[in-house]
Structure formats: C-alpha cells, structure tokens
Amino acid sequence: QGGAGTSTNMNANEVIANRALELLGFEKGQYRYLHPNEDVNLGQSTNDVYPTAVKVATVFAVRGLLKAMAVLQDSFARKAVEFRDVLKMGRTQLQDAVPMTLGQEFSAFAVMIDEDRHRLDEAVQLIHEINLGATAIGTGLNAPAGYAEAARRHLAEITGLPLVTAVNLVEATQDCGAFVQMSGVLKRVAVKLSKSCNDLRLLSSGPRAGLGEINLPPVQAGSSIMPGKVNPVIPEVVNQVAFEVIGNDVTITMAAEAGQLQLNAFEPIILHSLSESITHLRAACLTLAERCVDGITANTEVLRASVENSIGLVTALNPHIGYTAATDIAKEALVTGRGVAELVLEKGLLPAETLADLLRPEVVAGTGRALA
C-alpha cells in the first residue's frame, strides 16, 4: 500500500469506531455519535501511529526470536559436550589443517548464536524510541500540550515496554534508521545460521562417498528415483530462510533510502519485510534445533581414521619430532598413502605410548588449554 500506512491506520480507526459504537448501543456506521477520524484519530496521524505500532510489534516479535535462538544455542551446546572427546581433522579451504574435536566445532556454532543474540538485543533497544504525538511531520500540530508524553506513558503501561519519546520528533518521523539497524542484525543472524547449515550439510555428506563425519536425522525420502537417498532438508530450509532475510534487508535498505523530506512513505514494505524476517528466522531456529541438531550423531570411527590418516596430523607432532623429520614424514605419507602415526612408529621417532598420549583429544586439540 502507498501512503505510508494510511490505509491500515484508517481501517483500524474504522474498526475501533464501529466496535465502540456497538458497545455504546448504536449501530455500526452511526458516526455522528463516534467518528473514526474526529474521535478515534483525535490528536493522531498515520505518520506517528503507524511507525509506533510497527515498533511495538517488532519488539515483541524479536523477543520470540531471541527465545528461539536460545533454544538453538542450547542444542549446539549440548552436542558440544556430547562430542567433546571425539577427535577429527579441522579444515581450512576444505584442505586438512590440524586436529580438533567435534565438540569444538559444535561449540563454535553455539557461540556464534550467542554473539548474535547479544547483537540483536542491542539493536532492539533502538526500537523502543517512538514518535507518538508527532502527528503529521513531527511538529505535533493538532495534538494538545503534553499529549506525546501522556500517550507514551499509557502505551508503556499497556505494553509493559520501556518506551521513550524521541528527542527530535521531526527527525524521528522521517528517519527509518532503527529499522535499517535491526534488519542488518537480522541479516547477520541469517548469514551465520546459513554458514552453520552449510557446515552441517558438508559434514554429513555421503553417506559413503562424502565426508560422512556426522549423521543428520532423516526427515523424508530424498528422491523419487533413487531409493534410500536422504537429503539434509532441514539445513536446506534454513539456508533458504537466510536467503530470504538477506533479500528483505536489501528491500528495507532501499525503502529507508527512498524517503523524502519529512516522511518516509515506504514503511509498509519495511514492516512487511521486517516481520517476515523475524518470524521466519524464529521458525528456522526452532526447526533446526528440534528436527536436526538434537538428533545429530557422530561417526566416530570415520572421524578417528581421518585424523590418523591425515598428513595434517604431522603439524601436531612437529614440536616432538622436529621440523625436518616432520617434513619427511609428510612427504612419505603423501606418496605412499600410509598414515603419519604408522610412519612415526615405524621409524622409531616416538614410542607408542608417547604417540598415543600426544593423540589424546585434550592434547592434540588443545581442549585442556585455557584458550579452548
């Protein structure tokens, strides 16, 4: 709708007026007794009522998203504890890097969610600033003295929110910066959620011709032609929600930029996009936690073998056998296809007990160090 939300505001005024008429014992439409504009809209304008309503709705919606993110964070954190002793190879640029634990990998997922919860909580504080009482352009025309503060106080009591009136109502009536800020944080949440889901899809690839390091709980048959195929549909759903949120952020950015002079006429699309992003991210977090992360299992033998057979293991042994010997072992392992640990033992570079001790998760992955 055009008109900065006028259609919605007028409709709300009419609904309120007609319901009030019914309660007063009159027929709907008998506006001589109570009028949508003269009474319900008294001292108000679409330009202060609409953005205030949007902000109140956004605060409550974000609270729901924060709770959903906490659920997902807890799911990842529980898996981090469950997998804390499961050794695996870390990768950079999809190439073998150095050993880590699967628990560390899932702990990173949990921390990313926690960080974004804090950023979202910071962004929502800006949404508590309202321009109710500004009327048309922020000058307060046709609103009685003290109206803005009285309206804010009553709305705060009704909603239970710590609402504050903007210091400069002319600025607040034309500016959509708080919505842009909120959308930017939602995009951040979406990007990091999508990245985590990319990792889950890659780690579960296979089951026999891929990495196959973890198992995602099966949700549905994956193919109409390939029997037994199971797809990572839940992470894929979250990926698509992320794409949508990123697109909504572009829409909100362009709508905020398109404002002119004392009003932004494009708040309806900002509301629609913001609401959609928050609602869908909330559902995505809960779905990912309950239908995917909670049911993930580890293929411990595959993970262990990847460490033992990886040339990257030699980096962890470098301080104990020396750089030159480590380089020679890496080259021979690459040429022969034999494991690093096997070659180290064969050449007598380390006793079996010492090597076994060095390959313990708390040693090789640093889980016993303060920085873990």
Q: Which range of residues forms the domain containing residue 155? A: 43-300
Statement to judge: residues 211 and 78 lie in one domain: yes
Token duo for residue 5? 């939300």
Statement to judge: residues 110 and 139 lie in one domain: yes
- Given a cut of 70, whether residue 140 has pLDDT beyond it is yes
* Alpha helix ranges (H) inside the chain: 6-23, 46-82, 102-126, 147-159, 169-174, 177-203, 233-257, 267-291, 300-309, 313-321, 323-336, 340-346, 352-358, 361-364
- Asked if residues 155 and 57 have their Cβ atoms less than 8 Å apart, the reply is no
Does 250 map to a domain? Answer: yes
Does 232 map to a domain? Answer: yes
pLDDT digits (tens, 9 = 90+) for 302-334: 998 888 778 878 888 889 999 999 999 989 988
Averaged pLDDT for residues 124-134: 95
pLDDT digits (tens, 9 = 90+) for 183-241: 999 999 999 999 999 999 999 998 888 999 999 999 876 565 665 678 899 999 999 99
Q: What was the pLDDT predicted at 96?
A: 84
CA 258 from centroid of its chain's CA atoms: 27
Statement to judge: residues 110 and 257 lie in one domain: yes
| pTM exceeds cut of 0.85 | yes
Statement to judge: residues 94 and 220 lie in one domain: yes
100: β partners: 88
Q: What was the pLDDT predicted at 341?
A: 86
194 is catalytic: no
Statement to judge: residues 257 and 111 lie in one domain: yes
Element (H, E) at 95: strand 95-101
Statement to judge: residues 109 and 232 lie in one domain: yes
User: For residue 331, what is the domain's CATH number?
Assistant: 1.10.40.30
Statement to judge: residues 288 and 322 lie in one domain: no
Does 372 map to a domain? Answer: no
Q: What was the pLDDT predicted at 267?
A: 95
Confidence of residue 358 (pLDDT cuts 50, 70, 90): confident
Does 106 map to a domain? Answer: yes
Does 370 map to a domain? Answer: no
Statement to judge: residues 129 and 258 lie in one domain: yes
Does 127 map to a domain? Answer: yes
Average pLDDT, the chain: 92
Does 95 map to a domain? Answer: yes
DSSP category for residue 40: I
pLDDT digits (tens, 9 = 90+) for 36-73: 999 999 999 999 999 999 999 999 999 999 999 999 99
Which has the closest alpha carbon to 28: 38, 39, 17? Answer: 17
CA–CA distance from 94 to each of 91, 200, 211, 352 (Å)?
A: 5, 14, 11, 30
Q: How far apart are CA 172 and CA 154, in angstroms?
A: 20
Statement to judge: residues 61 and 100 lie in one domain: yes
- Given a cut of 80, whether residue 368 has pLDDT beyond it is no
Statement to judge: residues 199 and 328 lie in one domain: no
Does 168 map to a domain? Answer: yes
Confidence of residue 149 (pLDDT cuts 50, 70, 90): very high
Statement to judge: residues 155 and 117 lie in one domain: yes
Annotated catalytic residue: which of 194, 223, 277, 306?
Answer: 223
